[in-house]
Amino acid sequence: MKAFRSVEREGIPGRPARAMAMMNIAMRDVNWPAAPRTCPRITQRNPNDSVEATMDAAAHGVLKSLFPNFDFMPALNAATGQIPSWGDPAHVSGGKAEGAEIATPVVAERSGDGPAFSPAHTPDGVPGHWRPTGPANALDPNLGWLKPFAMTSGMQFRPPLPGGFTSYDQLLRSPEYAAQVNEVKALGSGRAQPGLSWRALPVGRRRAGVRPRSRRVRLHCLPGPVNGQAGAAYRR
């Protein structure tokens, strides 16, 4: 969590969401053969290799690539140390090797994401489009171009303009727009964070004692890619 918070403090919320999604996908690819494949399936060399060790190593490989200034080896050792002692150490080692292999294509699949996190942005001045309110710069202004995790594009589920209007100029001159402005004024400011609420759901279930571990992984894997895509959906 220190690694994720370090990126959040830099004012780039899209990066930790992307990292969480990539880590969740790598772990899910280990244990859910029926799930849609985001990367080539890595076949276990030995069916007795530890699936838990593979999940741990897959997560470690992704995080090590995304946060090179952090040492995740103690966390990996602590996680694999929870594997029952009666397990064959060779199967734990084999699982860790396969997890590292799974992380590699997951990271490679997202290697072109860099431009989506560029802070460069020039407002176009078009009425109805976003304009600076100062003093801070636009937050993740290019995140809308992030390659989707679970959607065909960031605009896949975007509704049309309200009232059936086909341009911002028509909308801004309409009574419907005036009514929406007045509604916002009536509601006032707020600090709702629906994305964090989604993320809190699997954490709550985990603390409630969901077993086995593979099911806990699945609980996190489901919202992870969704959170990773959410910012792109409303910014493009």
Greater confidence (12 vs 186) lies with: 186
Tell me if 138 is assigned to some domain.
no
Tell me if 78 is assigned to some domain.
yes
Tell me if 36 is assigned to some domain.
yes
Give dist(CA 7, CA 61) in Å, integer. Answer: 18
Tell me if 100 is assigned to some domain.
yes
- Give the residue numbers spanning the domain of 222: 2-115+193-235
Tell me if 55 is assigned to some domain.
yes
Range from 11-15, 17-21, 170-174 that averages highest in pLDDT? 170-174
Q: Exposed e or buried b for every residue in 7-29, given b needs 16+ CB within 10 A?
A: beeeebebbbbbbbbbbbbbbbb
The 10 Å Cβ neighbour count of residue 51 is 19
Range from 10-24, 125-139, 156-170, 203-217 that averages highest in pLDDT? 156-170
Give dist(CA 194, CA 234) in Å, integer. Answer: 13
One-letter amino acid at 165 equals F
Q: Residue 9: its pLDDT value, please?
A: 65
Q: Is the pTM of this model over 0.85?
A: no
Number of domains in the chain: 1
Tell me if 135 is assigned to some domain.
no
Phi, psi of 173 (to 5 degrees): -90, 0
Taking Cα atoms as reference points, which of 127, 129, 126, 116 lies closest to residue 228? 116
- The model's pLDDT over 33-82, given as tens digits with 9 standing for 90+, comes to 444 455 455 556 677 888 888 889 999 999 999 999 889 999 999 988 88
CA distances, 132 to each of 101, 109, 146, 205 (Å): 44, 33, 22, 40
Q: Residue 65: its pLDDT value, please?
A: 92
Tell me if 88 is assigned to some domain.
yes
Give dist(CA 74, CA 72) in Å, integer. Answer: 6
Tell me if 188 is assigned to some domain.
no
Q: Residue 145: its pLDDT value, please?
A: 84
- The model's pLDDT over 131-185, given as tens digits with 9 standing for 90+, comes to 888 787 888 888 888 888 877 877 788 888 888 898 888 999 999 999 989 998 8
Give dist(CA 150, CA 129) in Å, integer. Answer: 26
Q: Residue 97: its pLDDT value, please?
A: 92
CA distances, 138 to each of 101, 120, 142, 228 (Å): 37, 9, 9, 19
